[in-house]
Each structure stands twice: as C-alpha cells, then as structure tokens.
Structure 1
Amino acid sequence: MPHVRPRPAAHLRQAIRLAAFGLSLASVPGALLLPAQAMAQGLAAYHVPAGPLGNAITQFGVQAGVTVSFDTAQARNLNSPGLDGSYSVDEGLLRLLAGSGLQAQRQGNGGYVLVPAANGAAMELGPLNIEGSRLDATSEGTQSYAARAVTIGKGVHTLKETPQAVTVMTRKMLDDQNLNTLEQVLDKTPGITVYDSPMGGKYFYSRGFNLDGQYQYDGVPLDVGGNYVQANSFSSDMAFYDRVEILKGAAGMMKGSGSSAGGVNFVRKRGQDKARTSVTLSAGSWDNYRGQVDVGGPLNESGSVRGRAVATLQDRQYFYDNAKRQDQVLYGALDWDMTPDTTVGVGLAYEDVDASPCYHGLPRYADGSDLKLSRSTCLGASWNDLQSQRITGFADLKQRLNDDWTLNFASVYTHNNQNIEYGYAEGAVPVGASTASMGRYAGRFDYDQTDYGFDTYVDGKFRAFGLEHELIVGANASHQKTHDYFALMALSGTQNPFDPSSSFPHPSKDEFLLNPTRGGAVPTDSTTRQFGTYANLRLKLAEPLTLVLGTRVSWYRNESDSYTQRWDYWVRNRSQENGQVTPFAAVLYDLNEQWTAYASYADIFQPQSNLVNAQGQALQPKTGASYELGIKGELFDGGLNTAFNLFRTTEEHRAETDYVGTCKGSGDQYCYTDNGKVRAQGFEAEVSGSPVERLQLLAGYTYTQTKYLSTIEATDPTELTFSSSFIPRHMLKVWGDYQLGGALERWTVGAGVSSQSDNYRRQGDLRIEQAGYTLWSGRVQYRLDEHWSLALNGNNLLDKKYYATIGATGWGNYYGEPRNFMLTLRGDF
C-alpha cells in the first residue's frame, strides 16, 4: 500500500487583506534600503536529520510541500544521509536518495514517485547549486524540537555558537503540548518559574530574577510587560508565532536597561513559498474550545509575493467558579522579494480578550497553615470583568549587500487598552475556625499603553590572518507611553471562604473616586524612551578558538507623573542615564565538530531614580554581572542540541524599602536605600531534539541557589524583583513525543513530567510553604489519513492537589490545575 505524504501544492484560496499602518519611530541614522536574499532559482532551506530513509523522505515532503509516494517496503532497512541547506526539490531528493538504489520520478500532478534507479544502480549526483552555508532559524516544517539556529542575540547562529543559555520552544513543541499563551509557554520552559500576581497576570523568574518585561518582537526590544498592569504577562496568543526564544542570564547587550533574568524573543510566522492550509479544532475540560485556521502561500505566479493569514477563536471556563474567557486573534502578513537581494515584510495582528476573571487568590489560617478549600473556590464577585484589545504592527527589510554582508531592519508598533473591574476578598482566617469574615474590596483599572521601536544592524564576515571573522554593528530604540488609572476601595459586608458568595456590591465609577484605599481620580502618565548602539565582534583566534567581544552604549529617559490621593500630593519623577556602557565577552573552544566549550561574562544596569532615599536623593542604577561556564553539543547533524552550564549572577545597589522614615518623593511614601546585594548561582542541563529515531525530546534540569548578601533588616517581604524563596532549588521539566513504527506507525505517544522541590513565602516570622511536587502529562495521537490527525492531551494525570503559587496568610494562594484533557483534530493540506 503506497504511503503518500500530504501538503500538495495548491493555489491560495483566500487573499490576505492587510490594513496599512504607520510607525512613529525615533530618528534612524542613515537611509535603510534593505533585507535578505530572496529565494532564487527555486531554492528553499531544508533540515532533514540523517536516519531511516522513510522518515527522511516523509520530513522532506512536509518541508517541501510536495507529495512523495512510495511503498514502505522500498525504504525498509535503508538509511539516508539527511539534508541541511538550500536546494531545489529535485536536488534535495537526489541527495536524500544517494546510495539507496532509488530515484524520484516526477509525475504530471507535480508530485513524485520513488522507483528503482536505472539498472538498479545507486544514483549519481550531478553538479548542484547549493547555499548550504546560510542558516535558517525558522522552526515551522522541521517537525523537530531542535532549533537549527537562533536570532535573539543578533545575527543567525546555532545554539552551539551562542555562548549563553538559550531554550527555543519550536512550533512543533507549541503544537504538541497545546501551548497557546505566553504563560503556558514559559511554564513549560526549563529553568523558568511562574508566579501568580494577586491583581491578575503572572510574574516570570529565571535564575532567581524577575524577567521584568525583557521582551523582543523579531529582535526589536520593547518595554512591554515592564510596568504592566498585570505583572509581567500580557494577552499574547501564540497562534501567529513561529517560535519563542528564551535567553537565561543577563541580556544587557540586547536592550540596555533590564534585569539579570534574561530575555524572550517572539518570532512571528511569515509568508510561505508553498501553498499550505492548516485547520485545528480543540475541545477540553471545563468547556475549553478552540478553533484555528492558518493559510499561507504565494500570491503571484513567480512566488515573489507571499502571504499568511491566521484566525483563532477560543472560548473557555476554568476549574474555579465564576470565571470564563474568550480570545479572538486575527493575523495577516506579506513578504515581497523586491529584488533577488531585497525582501520587505509587513504584518498586522489583532487580539481581543473578553473575560470574567477571579483575582487575589485564597487565604490561609493566621499561622500560615492550609485551609484545604476546594480547588473550585473563587472568593470574587460575579460582576468581575476584563476587556483587552491589542493591535500589533510589524515592518522589516532585509538586504543582502554581497555574499558576506547583510543589512537588517525591523520595527514594531503595539497598542494595548485594558479595562478591568473586580471584587475580591482579603483576610487571614483564625486558626482552627470553620467560618470566617474576610473583608471585601473592589478594584478598577483603565490602562492604555503604546510601545514602538526599531532595530537595525549590519552583519557580515571578513577574512584576516587566514581565518574568517564576523562583525555586527547596530542600533535600536524604543518608546513607551502609558496612561494608567486605578483605584481600590473597601466594600460593605464580609466573605466567608468556607461558604463563599459571589454577590458583591457593584460600585459605580464615581464611587471608586470618592474614598479609594489606593489610587484615585488622577491617572498616572509615564513615558520611557531608550536608545542604544551596539557592536559584536567574533574573532577566530585559531580554527577551534573564537573570542566574542561586545558592547552597548545606552541612553535612557523616564518621566512619570502621579497623584497620591490618600496623602494628597503629586509625585513627579524624572530619571535619565546617559552613555551607560554594557559590556559582553565570551570565548568558545571547539572540542570537535560536535562539542564546544565556552565561558561568558555579561553586564546589566537598571535605573532606579524614580525612588528616593531619606535625604531626598534619587537612587543610583542597579547593576549586575553574570558569569557562565558551559559546554554545548550539536549531534546527529543538528538533530539534537545539548547544553550544560554553571552560572553565577550578582546584583548590587538594589533598591530596598526603608520603613523607618517617610519620603514624599516616592509614590508609596516610603524611603528607599540602594545598598541591597543579592546572588544567584547554580547549574543547568538541557537536551532538545531527537536522541533516538522517531523520538522528539525537550528535557531540562535546573539547580538554583539564591541569597541576599546585603540587606536592611526591614526588607519588604512582597518585593518581587528577586526571590530567595519563591524559586525552587531543584526543577525538572521533560517532554517527549515518540512515533511508533511498523504496523503502529500511525500512532504517536507523548509523556512529560514537571517536578520541583519545595518553595515558600516569608511573612514576618511565618514561613508559608508548598512541599515539592511532581506532575505527569501525556499525549496520544492517531494519524487518520494523509491530511488529518486526532490527538488527546492530558495534564496532571495523577490529579495532584498543590499550590502553584504561595501567597500571604490573607491572599495570593493559587491552586494548580486539576487533571484535565484536550482533544485536538488537525488537518494539513
């Protein structure tokens, strides 16, 4: 019975309509006429690992978008050398079939059939026009958890060439685990800790430090998530992203101002050179329904204009009461090869969220012990409401100057408007009580934020002293403006956590303005501008030895005006940093073709001049230094990436709250010192890709030890930019997906485990703990035919009851999800 590979080349059935958008950018030095080399002479990039011939041909068919038919008996016991580079379809098949005694015969419908080579002889390769040296970081179509390359550090480099810890969540990983939100992606990323905010959203920690808005879009750094109303997370669906690149450790070279946690780069899907359509329908626990259509392909006969359109709708409820959410996502993109050396790309995304959230978490007994409430408990109001709209525009250019040099430009604009109002309960429960009277409160937020920025750089290779070197020189800038109104107020009545009611008084907007406990009638307006120039030089000192030297010079401005109604005074903060230098240095030593050892040093700074000390003086910037020593492997022709590193990060001059005096220069009326010093150190081990035939694996273990080296006695227990307690010392995250062989080749089974040691939160003399726990997940997929597959995913299969986040005695404790399932039908054409 012939085995036919899907994805026939068909004409695009639906045109993509894009609204024009304008990007207000800070001045860009020089005229930019650029972006990358267009696909010429019918070439496309392929990455097919060496291995069984049948698997190789199958993967090639997916990546090429062609039908390759063959009898499974033809390929039995035959191996292929694999394929890595840019080829035409005919050239790719020639190489994959080399030495097999088979050849690909083109059919009238554009597909191919494998037949014995003439006279049964092995096929000979003729002259080929190949661009195998040009890396392609795109993860779509590779069907792999192994990233071929990354772009988070500027330029395109393999993980082995990147002297810092980087995890890439590829498109296949996102699809296999149904990772559809930023929170879900980072929760499954090795080394990342997710912590719930009582006011909605999540905080993300890497190596003990808060990510604090260290986000990039196609390499453009923005401040999204830094001063966000909902912690570090924001409404961002993964439907229109190709992959997510997560760097762990100081990322000062990429952005300038920031923390020591790292950075996250979202790389969007692009227009496709072959016509493809994907349809996904999902249904799961707690009425969780999701549908998605993804269409792409050439829009003209030559394929010089390519398009992409994605539409997603999700409607869901939660395992806790009185909460639901609906997400709508629309995305369109165009890529146009203006010349063989110049490509321009534009994209537009719209995201809409309509939700009834449940915020603030659950309380505990006054001694910190667990109330053992039902996991479905929500102590909020029935009228809770969240409305969020985000529009994001992308524009980029890539220009190949010659065989060695390229000029790159990318820009992003994003605007988010949120309106939130909710009721919540707060208060510790007397020890041993079976009933309690918690106070009831309400919050209202009207939040408007606009971010835009650009990044441009020249990347090239040159020869000196008989060796090849690389130089990157560039600049980037970002601008953020926020208009943030919020107010919290007390409500009448009480809430009993053992018998909760969602019937709360619903205050009007005017009532929030009369006597707020926090916030008030006057919004906070803030503007942040950053600009920086950077350079990165990779010097080949000898064939196995590379020295990397980099530096960034940054300029930072922030203006913030807020009125504190409770204390009746204005806070006007003006902070700036000029010419702040952030260095980077690394050395890489190639032990052999597969293994590279490295050592690196990275710096950060973060302004704190919006805070004042007891003398009324603005605090100096926080500074940090990260050291990393490791080894990376690229095995099986790039099919498997491995990494192990030791790290140590120290931050100095950290702001800490001094509760002794009062300072009206600070919004909370407290004074601050900048004498804090902290350290995080440990090691990480990670593998991603295919260690054995038919298995895709992502596994990571992280050991993190955090410590305050210098602190005042009255350290704020709710300070969230560094955590010596929220972060588990041991953390293991593993996910594997295995395609069965033989008569069961239509079946794929997956399994995963997330395990961590205990963590805790300190509240005065109390230590509120969550014991270590382990969660198991699984997946079963059946390929119905050449186009359709059906998969069932299950999470927390043993139904472990645990707290994903430990809060205080009166609030902020969040249960993790109970056992749940999702059934997904997927069609690819």
Structure 2
Amino acid sequence: MKNSNYILATALMAIFSSGALAEETTLEEVQVKATSEKSGLNLKKQNTTGSRLGLTAKETPASIEILDTQTIRQRGDITLREAVTRTTGITDISAPGNGQAFSSRGFTGNNSVAQAEDGVRLMTGAGTLTYPSDMWGYERIEVLRGPASIIFGDGSAGGIINSVRKQVNRETSIEALVGAGTYGAYRAALGGTGAIGEIGAFRIDASVLGGDGYISRGDYDSKKIMTSFLFTPTENLKVGFTLDHSDESPTANFGTPLINGRLSHSMRNKNYNIEDKAMDFQDTRARAKIEWDISPTLKFRNEAYWFKSDRKWKNAENYSFNSATNLVQRSSFLNIEHDQKQYGNRIELASTADLFGHQNRFAAGWEISHTDFIHSSVNGTPSNVPVNGYKGLFNAPSSPLTNYDADLNQQAFFIENALNATDNLKLVAGLRKDFINSKREGYRTNPDTDRDLSALTWRLGTVFDVTENTALYAQTSKGTDPVTTLLGMNLTNAEFSLTKSRQSEIGIKQALPNAKGEWTLAAYHIAKDNILTQNPDNPSFSIQGGKQSSRGVEFSTVLFPIEQWRFDFNATLLKARYDELEQSGVSRAGNTPMNVPEKVANAWVYYQVSNWEAGIGARYVGKRYGNDANTSSISSYTVYDASAAWHVNDRMTLRANIRNLTDKFYAALSRNNNLQQIVGAPRQLELTAEFRY
C-alpha cells in the first residue's frame, strides 16, 4: 500500500494507548444495531450550511440537502464527488487541473460552486480545490443550492458543498473497514473515539486507498489522517482542536481524443499522457475552536485556522487526432506547482433570547483571512504519438520557475436573524459585507497588480408552517463571484469588479405522516451580471457586461411506503443560458453554458431486513455542450449501480457494491474545446468488511 500502513498503525496506537482504554480492563457491553432510524431528507435536523442560527432544513428559506454517512455507505460511494452527485441537481465536472469541481443550477466551477469543511473554506487557487476527497471520517454532507454568499462569501453563486466531520465522544467506540475491488482497488480505514482524563475526548480517523485504475498507467493512491480533541473545563466552556493531513495522487486522466468527432470505444482504456506523468496533492489543516455559553441565551464562538496545500502536475494535457497522419497530437506539456497557505479567524456572538415576546435567533460576527499563493510552471515540448500507443518523457529546459506570488487579504462582517413573527410565520434575514485586497508580485513576464474589491450580499426569506410537518417558503438573495480566481489576478482582469447574482426562490417542504417519508419542491430564477464578454470595439480585449441566467424546478423525496422498503428520488429541470455574451465576434445569447446538463435525476430502491439489505440505483445526466458556441455536444447517459450487505452480527457487516452495472460507455466530461473527452468509469466491483466496537 505504498508505505501508507504507518497511518493506520499510528491511529491504532493512539486509540489503544488512550486513557479511556487504560483506566479499565473491563468495558461495559454496548449493543450496536446494524439498522438505524429512518433518516429521509433530514428536514428536521439542524444544519450549519444554510445558516449560523441553528435552523433546521425545514426552517431555512432555501434549498438545503443533508446526506448522512449511512446513506453514503449504502450506495457504495467512497469519494465526495461520488456522494455529492447523487444529491439534487449537482453534477461532477472535475478535471485533473481543478481537482474536484461541480455544476449547480446552471453555474460551474470552483469560482461559482464553493466547497468547505466544517463551515470553513480554503480559497480557490488557480481554479483548483482538492480537499476533502475521501469521505471516511465525515458524518454528513450538507448542500446549499443557490447563492451562499451571506455565509461563505464570494464564489458561491451556484451553491456550496460542506463536509461535516464526525464529532468526538467520551464513550469509547471503534470502527474499521477493509475492502478490495476490480482494477487492483484496495481500501482500508480506521476510526475511533474515547475519553481523555476527566474533561477531554478525542477522535482519530485514518484511511488509505489506491489501485491500478481503469485506463492504462492509471494508478492512484490516497492516504489521510484526521485528529480531533475536545476539552470541557467547565460546563459552559468547550475548547477544541483538529489537525489533519492528506496526500493524494489521483489518476492523471486528461481524456481521450475524438476520432472524426466521435468517441471511440476501442480507445476506452488508452492513456496518451507522458510516461513520467505526475500529479500529487498534499493538504495539511489545523484549527482551534472555543465555544462559551455566556448565559442560557447568549453564546460566544471563536475559530482560528491554518491551512497549507502543495500541488504538483507534470503532464501532457491536450490531445487531438490528426486524420491525415493517423497520429494523436499532444500539446500543453505543463509542469506546474502550487504552494498555498491560508490562515484566518472567525469570531461570532449568537443569541436565542426572545424579542418582544417572540422567539428570535440572532448571530453576528467578523472574520478575517490571509492567503499566500505561489504559482510556478515550465512548458515542455509538444509531441505526437500513435493512436494505439504512447511514448515520450517530459522534455523541458528547466524545473518550474515562479510565475507570481499572490497575497489575498479578506475581512467580512455578517449578521443574521430569524424571528418567529407568529406561531406559524418565520422571517429570516442575513447581511454580509466583504472587503478584499488582492496583490500579485509578478515574475518573468507577469506584471505586479494591486486590487481592492468589496461586496454587499444579503438574503431575505420567510417560512410559513401550513401544518406541523409542512412548510412553504420564499426568498430572494444576492451573491457575488469573481470573474476569475481572486488569487493571482493579472493585469488584464485586475480592473474587473465582482460579478453579481440575484436569486428568487419559492418552495415547499413536507414530512409525511407516520414517518412515511419526506419531500421538497423548489422553483428558482438566478440572474448573473457583469460576466466577461468581448469588447465590440476591440475584439482582442474582454470587458464586463455579459449576462447569464438560469431558471428551474427541483424535486427530491425519500419514501418508506411499506415496511422494509425505501425509495429515493430527485430530479432537476432547468434552463440555463447566456443572455448577453460576445465571443469571436458572434453573439452567444440563448446558448447554454458548456458542461451544464439541463436534466439531472437520481433514483435508489432499497430493501432491508434485520440482517441483510440490497439496493439498486440509477443516475441520469442530460445532454451537455462541449463549448459555449454549442456547436458540439456530449450525449446524455444513465448509469446503474447496485449494492448488497449482510449484517453478520452487531459488530460486522459484509458489503458488495457494483458501480456502472451495465458497463455503460459514455463521456463524463468535455475538454480542449471538445477535441477530447474523459470517459466515464466502466463496471467496477468492490467487496468490503465493516467492523464496529
């Protein structure tokens, strides 16, 4: 396992040497059941993504979806990308250069669909985000669709995906997993929690995974360790710390060139990258958090953090087929390095005191962060290779040279309030003011830049409880996105302001009687102004003034119609378009943005009895376009997955998962102006054993 076993060994030593296990030689027996309570859509569970007020999904006037770890495991999902794309309307547009990226409500990429861990974001560096990826150690995923700027700032007009980690507990428990699958796949993970002395508790989660991959020379591996500590010196004070590290080398798969405009099945497992390809992402994170209950209705919170991310690429990224020579032309030979550091602090005061006799929840705070980003690169020499083969090493005159050193300083003040105006009517409002300074010290041919930006974002909403289990809601909100990443703004885009997005949304959320299920329905319209467009007076330059919009309907439900059966279904219908956009002297008005499907659906059917369960699911992604001109398209596809599990006893479960059950051949993503496409993964089988103590 590529020298990764030390992580699991370290975790085991920490768990079994803790005071929690050393104090007593005999532990009280704990009964653990394989089955659990019906989770559904978790409408009545508090979330930390849609608001800082402790509202449930039902109380929040926005589209909030909570995906718990039990459901993720039942579906056989390992990565964040796999799990999130089963939520409503979210599709995966990840490519090796951006790490992991998503499309939501017609908006794409890491500058429009944000990602966070436990409510804290790592800033996007050159369009890339890489953490978290493996879902081991996380309790749930929370997804907010639509502008999330009042909580998370700029770069979230399409929504945000927040991974919430498992919490520490003084009651000792251990869980483990081992698995193996096709294409040389392996996986092992361990997690445990317990007490430290009289006032402390800890949690450690570690995992390793890897394999050969489904394309030639497609090997990959990943390893991480997550640690958490919590101390409660008094009943009103909590002090917590986390320290994590991950090292990931994913498959360097940049896609397959199209042959005469078509994707060839014969090239499904071909890899046209260089022989000495490299791609590695290392992330280290540390956080400290204090929670102080000043009074029964007033709480103080402070969180400080430090993140570091080192990324390396060495690849031939672009491929195109030359019919005259029958060769694949390779270009964009790039050796790139990112050195990114970020630290910050968020201070917050929250109140639950009544206001004029009405229940009221209030939060206000200030956050500050600094990010340092160094971008280095060197170009290699292009080359051609046969269609049925590959050869060649990276050929460059030097090691990567520094292009620029960017500093990003951000401050934000925020305020939120939720007032129960009547027993059935809740009014929710939020306001955020951001101050941003982006500096760039250029090297080589890159000039220096210095740019100040500011943004005022807000949300107004109302929730009306028709009954105890049924709520109608409406909201309008404003968000902002940068025209490009805020880290490393160059001379061309340094004068541009933030784009502005405005959303209107209405919906209904309902929990069915007798715990038979939950469902939600939402309709929305989002308009985004000031996107980049071509200068009509000088086509070689871009200006702000373009517009794009999307409108759609989203439906999701989890049903328990009869004993032992569960049905999950969600679907999205949207119309995404450019309202004003000029490219190459041609208007793109009315066109659909590239890599945006306008129809997306997911379905799962489960059957579960006391000691075994089985399920089958489908994921549908509609037609997409490979460029903004809409002259090339990517066909829709449906992929089926299946799973089965045998609960041997209260402490052991054996599970089998099959992904892409029918071995569907399809294009997952377009690249290089649709001259090449990344082929979706073929049928894969994984067998795992899960343990609980």
Tell me whether the two structures share a fold, i.e. TM-score over 0.5: yes
1:547 pairs with 427, 431, 435, which one?
427
Counterpart of 1:420? Answer: 313
Alpha-carbon distance change, 709 to 340 in structure 1, aligned in 2, over 3 angstroms: same
CA shift, 1:698, in A, is: 4.0
Q: C-alpha deviations, 1:322-374, integer Å up to 9, x for none?
A: 1111211112111111111111111111111245x4343121245x3334433
Summarize the Cα distance change of 1:161–1:282 in structure 2 as closer, same or farther, 3 Å threshold: same
**SS of match in other structure, 1:536:** strand
Give 3-state SS (helix, strand or coil) of 1:273's partner: coil
* 1:429 counterpart = 2:327: no
Structure 2 gaps of 5+ residues are: 1-12, 20-26
Distance in structure 2 (CA, Å) of the matches to 1:715 and 1:306: 63
Matched residues in 2 for 1:717 and 1:505: separation? 42
Distance 1:736 1:681 in 2: 29
1:528 aligns with 2:415: no
Q: Give the aligned partner of residue 64 of structure 2.
A: 166
The gaps in structure 1 that reach 5 residues or longer are: 1-10, 18-107, 114-139, 514-520, 663-669
Task: For residue 525 of structure 1, report the CA deviation from its aligned partner.
Answer: 1.1
| TM-score for both structures, normalised by structure 2 | 0.88
- Matches of 1:709 and 1:324, distance apart in 2: 43
Indicate the SS of the match to 2:150.
helix
Kept in 2, the 8 Å contact 1:220–1:410? The answer is: no
Displacement of 1:145 in angstroms is 4.9
**Residue type of the partner of 2:686?**
M
**Residues 611 and 672, structure 1, Cα contact 8 Å, conserved in 2:** no
Find 1:362's aligned residue among 256, 265, 277. Answer: 256
Verify the 8 A CA contact 1:416 1:449 in the aligned structure 2: yes
In structure 2, what is the equivalent of residue 486 of structure 1? Answer: 377
User: Does the 8 A contact of 1:472 with 1:537 survive in 2?
Assistant: yes
Q: Is 1:265 the equivalent of 2:265?
A: no
Cα gap change, 1:553 to 1:468, in 2 (>3 Å): same
- CA 1:807–1:530: 2 relative to 1, 3 Å: same
Partner amino acid for 1:732? A
Instruction: Please state if 1:188 is matched with 2:58.
Output: no
Q: Distance in 2 between matches of 1:505 and 1:111?
A: 57
Q: What is the CA distance between 1:657 and its match in structure 2? A: 4.6
Going from structure 1 to structure 2, the CA distance change for 1:780 and 1:507 (only over 3 Å counts) comes to: same
- 1:561 equivalenced with 2:441 (yes/no): yes
3-state SS, counterpart of residue 246 of structure 1? strand
Pairwise CA distance, 1:710: 1.1
Structure 1 distance, partners of 2:605, 2:286, is: 35
Task: Determine whether 1:439 maps to 2:330.
Answer: yes
* SS class of match (1:184): helix
Mark the CA change 1:536 to 1:327 in structure 2 (over 3 Å): closer, same or farther: same
2: distance between equivalents of 1:111 and 1:263? Answer: 37
Q: Report matched runs for 1:157-556 at 5 Å.
A: 157-197=55-95, 199=97, 201-212=99-110, 214-223=114-123, 226-228=124-126, 231-234=128-131, 236-300=133-197, 302=198, 304-354=199-249, 357-365=251-259, 368-424=261-317, 426-430=319-323, 435-439=326-330, 442-491=333-382, 493-497=383-387, 499-501=388-390, 503-507=391-395, 510-511=397-398, 521-556=401-436
1:248-286 Cα distance to aligned partner (Å, 9 max, x none): 100110122224111122222221131111110011111
The number of residues matched between the two structures is 663
Distance in 1, Cα, partners of 2:594 & 2:376:
32
- Which letter does structure 1 place at the counterpart of 2:374? H
Structure showing greater Rg: 1
- 2:378/2:398 contact within 8 Å kept: no
Q: Identity over the aligned pairs, expressed in percent?
A: 18
CA deviation map 1:393-425 (0-9, x unaligned): 122122222222222222332111122212355
Whichever residue aligns with residue 457 of structure 1, its letter is: E
| One of 580, 591, 596 as aligned partner of 2:471 | 596
Whether the 8 Å contact between 1:428 and 1:809 is mirrored in structure 2 is no
Alpha-carbon shift at residue 447 of structure 1 (Å): 1.2
Q: Equivalent residues in 2 for 1:64-143 (5 A)?
A: none
Match for residue 528 of structure 2 among 651, 658, 664: 651
From 768, 773, 776, the equivalent of 2:637 is 773
Cα distance in 2, alignment partners of residues 389 and 427 from structure 1: 31
Separation in 1, partners of 2:513, 2:242: 36
Bigger drift between 672-681 and 798-807 goes to 798-807
What TM-score does the superposition give when structure 1 sets the normalisation length? Answer: 0.74
Counterpart residue number, 2:495: 618
Quote the Cα distance in structure 2 between the aligned partners of 1:292 and 1:636. 39
Secondary structure of 1:159's partner?
A: coil
Distance 1:716 1:284 in 2: 49
Q: Aligned partners of 1:707 and 1:258: how far apart in 2?
A: 19
Output the amino acid matched with 1:342. Answer: L
Deviations 1:646-688 (A, max 9, x none): 01000111123559858xxxxxxx5221010111110101124
CA distance in 2, matches of 1:695, 1:797: 21
Q: Which of 25, 46, 52 is the matching residue for 1:149?
A: 46
CA–CA distance in structure 2, aligned partners of residues 174 and 160 of structure 1: 22
Q: Which residue of 2 aligns with 1:67?
A: none
Q: Write out per-residue CA displacement over residues 776-815 of structure 1, whole angstroms, 9 at most, x where no aligned residue.
A: 1111100112211101011111111110112346744011
3-state DSSP of counterpart to 1:597: strand
C-alpha spacing 1:270/1:561, structure 2 compared with 1 (3 Å): same
Letter in 1 for 2:638: T
Q: Is the 8 A contact 1:369 1:768 kept in 2?
A: no
Deviation of residue 617 (structure 1)?
8.5
> Do the aligned partners of 1:363 and 1:809 also contact (CA within 8 Å) in 2?
no
Tell me the distance in 2 between the aligned counterparts of 1:228 and 1:253. Answer: 23
Counterpart contact for 2:214–2:682, Cα < 8 Å: yes
Q: In structure 2, how many angstroms separate the alpha carbons of the residues matched to 1:815 and 1:326?
A: 20
Going from structure 1 to structure 2, the CA distance change for 1:173 and 1:659 (only over 3 Å counts) comes to: farther
2:565 paired with 1:672: no
- Shift of the 449–358 alpha-carbon distance from structure 1 to 2, 3 Å rule, reads same
Partners in 1 of 2:312 and 2:355 — Cα distance?
A: 58
Q: Read off the aligned partner of 2:103 and give its amino acid letter.
A: Y
Which amino acid in the other structure matches residue 261 of structure 1?
G
**What is the CA-CA distance between 1:142 and the residue it aligns to?**
6.0
Residue 105 of structure 1: aligned partner: none
Report the counterpart of residue 553 of structure 2 in structure 1.
683
Q: Report if the CA contact (8 A) 2:349-2:364 is conserved.
A: yes
| Equivalent pair of 1:270/1:335 in contact (CA under 8 Å) | no
Q: Distance in 2 between matches of 1:637 and 1:469?
A: 30
1:423-474: CA deviation from partner (whole Å, max 9, x where unpaired): 35522433xx793242355210121111222323222222244321211112
Matches of 1:690 and 1:527 in 2, distance apart? 52
Alignment correspondent of 1:734 = 603
SS in 2 for 1:160: coil
Query: Who is 2:16 aligned against?
Result: 14
- 1:804-828 C-alpha deviation (Å, 9 max, x unpaired): 1123467440111111111110011
Q: 1:198: how far off?
A: 5.9
- Indicate if the aligned counterparts of 1:196 and 1:814 stay in contact, CA closer than 8 A: no
Residue 167 of structure 1 deviates from its aligned partner by 1.5
Aligned equivalent of 1:132: none
Q: Distance in 1 between matches of 2:559 and 2:175?
A: 24
- The amino acid across from 1:739 in the alignment is Q
Partners of 1:533 and 1:639 in 2: how far apart?
42
Q: Structure 1 residue 753: deviation in Å? A: 0.8
Distance (Å, rounded) in 1 between the aligned partners of 2:536 and 2:335: 28
CA pair 170-689 structure 1, distance change in 2 beyond 3 A: farther
The CA distance in 2 between the partners of 1:175 and 1:715, in whole Å, is 50
Q: Do the aligned partners of 1:222 and 1:478 also contact (CA within 8 Å) in 2? A: no
